[in-house]
Structure 1
Amino acid sequence: MTRTSPAFSPARVAALVLRYLYLLRSSWPRLLELIYWPAMQLLVWGFLQSYIARNASTPALVAGTFVGSVLLWDILFRGQMGFSITFLEEMWSRNMGNLMMSPLRPTEFVLALMAMSLVRLAIGMLPVTAMALFFFGFNLYGFGLALVFFFVNLILTSWAVGIVVSGLILRNGMGAEGLAWSLMFLMMPLACVYYPVATLPAVLRPVAWALPPTYVFEGMRALVIDHVLRADLMLTAFAINAALFAVAVLVFVRLLDGARRQGMLMQMGE
């Protein structure tokens, strides 16, 4: 005689909820995500509202920088995503262990990811910049030499973040995969994408000036509003980027070594 389960069991529901709570508690990236997105939206749009309110008398001047901010932010974000997604494809296919057992050096792997980041970025950005020109009359390439400075600094930041994210996923497993989509947005309120640094509370301004993208977006606003190329901002951003990139590579190598010692490379996949 077989024993049938009741149609509904609160105990089974509670057991599953307890399982998911244990899973949530064991993964700090998952916990961080619960607070992360609401906080980021509040800060970005709250600071933007403050900026617009303070410049209500010159709305056209303020709005003139928004399309440029969107496009430059996309370079930063898509550059990092192109790096991280290419890396994650190796993780999803469970190929990372094979790569690390081959003669491939970590630096060669990173360089290949950087190259694919540029390819993915070009595929995504070229049509978008054409749309910006057609629909809004905004010519990103009209920045001329300034665009080169903006691009180099933004792509270096995106690679540094992508390298660190890849290392964290190697060391912490696929539970940290969400960082590939969310970590860059942590910079967004402090990098002052849509508003100047002066909009931030005084306590946050030193943090903003420690981020290379802040200098790029401030430089873009100076170019659009004042028609001045701030070479000093670009050089400062490049110096910070050089230091961050070197630290990111060192962190990646250390995390990769830790993943190898813990036998993590053969345990990851979809």
Structure 2
Amino acid sequence: MNDLSLSIAPHRIGAMILRYWYLLLSSWPRLLELMYWPTLQIITWGFLQTYIASNAGFFARAGGTLIGAVILWDILFRGQLGFSISFLEEMWARNIGNLMMSPLTPLEFLLALMTMSLIRLAIGIIPMTLIAVWFFDFNFYSLGLPLVAFFCNLIFTSWAVGIFVSGLVLRNGLGAESIVWTLMFALMPLACVYYPVQVLPHWLQLVAWSLPPTYVFEGMRALLIDGTFRADLMLTAFGLNAALLLASFAAFIALLRSARRAGSLLSSGE
């Protein structure tokens, strides 16, 4: 795998996607897990919002903000996890060394992981949104075109984080695997998923506004509560995501080179 090459061969990307797709279909627990946690989340938080809405005027007026936040958070988290799990499958199978010696380029590898991220995300999110309609009368798709901006920004952030943590695991081995599961949760309080930015202390607000997801969740609340689509928030988020994706790709290449120098590609254990 030539880490300097930016050329793209669709047939190599397709081969990697097909590999991950067969791997996914070969195990029904993998498929079940993709739907289980999003379903559990929407049911738990949906009933909580139903209770709050019947006992608090604000949440009755801002109906759907909690369920909407749960769905958007799951897009962010599952997007990153879908990317990283496909990468970890190669680590667990001790197949990284084989891929690195193949004609597959880093960009092709990452594009295949991004595609699998979308496939895994669709398997989990679509049932989740349908349950939101059936159980709680919240149609996530009624957000309309703003939903496209919300989704794109969140998936771009999830890919940036996924690329970065995959590079860390590539360089440090499976001993660094825990960061795949924990990093996004560390960002969760600062992304202001369930509450507005104003809740945070002033100095933390500055940190929160440096994260693209913060703009998405603020935009979602503005749309559901005030009926206003904040295009300015989405454009800022797109700009931040572009910078994050470039930085994450550069970090992945640097960590790949470091792993090669350290000889850790063929000994990617604990």
One-letter amino acid of the counterpart of residue 163, structure 1: I
Give me the CA root mean square deviation.
1.5
CA displacement at 1:178 relative to structure 2: 0.5
Partners of 1:137 and 1:173 in 2: how far apart?
Answer: 45
Question: 8 Å contact 1:163–1:252 — kept in the other structure?
Answer: yes
Question: 8 Å contact 1:219–1:230 — kept in the other structure?
Answer: yes
Once the two structures are superposed, residues 150-192 of structure 1 have per-residue CA deviations (whole angstroms, 9 ceiling, x without a partner) of 0000000000000000000011111110111100111100000
1:153 alignment partner in structure 2: 153
Question: 8 Å contact 2:160–2:245 — kept in the other structure?
Answer: yes
Partners of 2:115 and 2:246 in 1: how far apart?
Answer: 18
Matches within 5 A, 1:112-191: 112-191=112-191
Partners of 2:150 and 2:213 in 1: how far apart?
Answer: 9
2:241 alignment partner in structure 1: 241
Q: Secondary structure at the match of 1:189?
A: helix
Q: Secondary structure at the match of 1:170?
A: helix
CA displacement at 1:235 relative to structure 2: 0.3
Q: Which residues of structure 2 form unaligned runs of 5+? A: 1-51
Q: Secondary structure at the match of 1:135?
A: helix
Question: 8 Å contact 1:93–1:269 — kept in the other structure?
Answer: no
Once the two structures are superposed, residues 4-23 of structure 1 have per-residue CA deviations (whole angstroms, 9 ceiling, x without a partner) of xxxxxxxxxxxxxxxxxxxx
Task: Count how many residue pairs are aligned between Structure 1 and Structure 2.
Answer: 217
Question: 8 Å contact 1:164–1:252 — kept in the other structure?
Answer: yes
Q: Could you tell me the TM-score, scaled by structure 2's length?
A: 0.78
1:227 alignment partner in structure 2: 227
Q: Which residues of structure 1 form unaligned runs of 5+? A: 1-51
CA displacement at 1:62 relative to structure 2: 4.7
One-letter amino acid of the counterpart of residue 128, structure 1: M
One-letter amino acid of the counterpart of residue 192, structure 2: C
One-letter amino acid of the counterpart of residue 247, structure 1: A
Partners of 1:59 and 1:80 in 2: how far apart?
Answer: 30
Q: Could you tell me the TM-score, scaled by structure 1's length?
A: 0.78
Question: 8 Å contact 2:167–2:256 — kept in the other structure?
Answer: yes
1:83 alignment partner in structure 2: 83
Once the two structures are superposed, residues 72-111 of structure 1 have per-residue CA deviations (whole angstroms, 9 ceiling, x without a partner) of 0000000000000000000000000000011110111000
Question: 8 Å contact 2:79–2:121 — kept in the other structure?
Answer: yes
Q: Secondary structure at the match of 2:217?
A: helix
Question: 8 Å contact 2:62–2:224 — kept in the other structure?
Answer: no
Question: 8 Å contact 2:82–2:118 — kept in the other structure?
Answer: yes
Partners of 2:203 and 2:209 in 1: how far apart?
Answer: 11
CA displacement at 1:58 relative to structure 2: 1.9
Once the two structures are superposed, residues 105-128 of structure 1 have per-residue CA deviations (whole angstroms, 9 ceiling, x without a partner) of 011100000000000000111111
2:61 alignment partner in structure 1: 61
Partners of 2:77 and 2:59 in 1: how far apart?
Answer: 27
Partners of 1:184 and 1:99 in 2: how far apart?
Answer: 27
Partners of 1:115 and 1:103 in 2: how far apart?
Answer: 19
Question: 8 Å contact 2:156–2:245 — kept in the other structure?
Answer: yes
2:207 alignment partner in structure 1: 207
Partners of 2:166 and 2:130 in 1: how far apart?
Answer: 32
Instruction: Using the aligned pairs only, state the percent identity.
Output: 67
Partners of 1:210 and 1:117 in 2: how far apart?
Answer: 24
Partners of 2:61 and 2:234 in 1: how far apart?
Answer: 23
